[in-house]
Amino acid sequence: MTASEPTQGEKLEKIAFQFCKIATVAFLCGRFTLPIASTLAAGLYLAAHIQGKRDTRCILRYPLLIGAFWGVVATIAWAITINPSVLRFIGIGN
């Protein structure tokens, strides 16, 4: 019995899962890694979905859903990183 060669989508999903873990830790612990890691996670999960990967080990299960989630997190993280006064606009911070 031989193991089948992973598809391109499966290879991309494995990389995306690693960035999902990084983004989760950064989401909990903060600072500048969150915008980068969440952007990479979103992009790689989207690429995995496009390449045919339809499920994943991540808790959200579906690459497109995970990509959308991390895309929203990335958008918010970049906005806060580029312009911290955004937090004052929503009533957080000084």
Domain ranges of the chain: 8-89
Taking the C-alpha atoms of residue 39 and residue 73, their distance in angstroms, rounded to an integer, is 8
3-state secondary structure at position 51: coil
> Residue 94 has what pLDDT?
63
Is 0.75 topped by the overall pTM?
no
Q: Residue 91 pLDDT > 80, yes or no?
A: no
Taking the C-alpha atoms of residue 24 and residue 7, their distance in angstroms, rounded to an integer, is 26
pLDDT digits over 10-53, tens only? 999 999 999 998 888 888 877 778 898 899 999 999 999 999 99
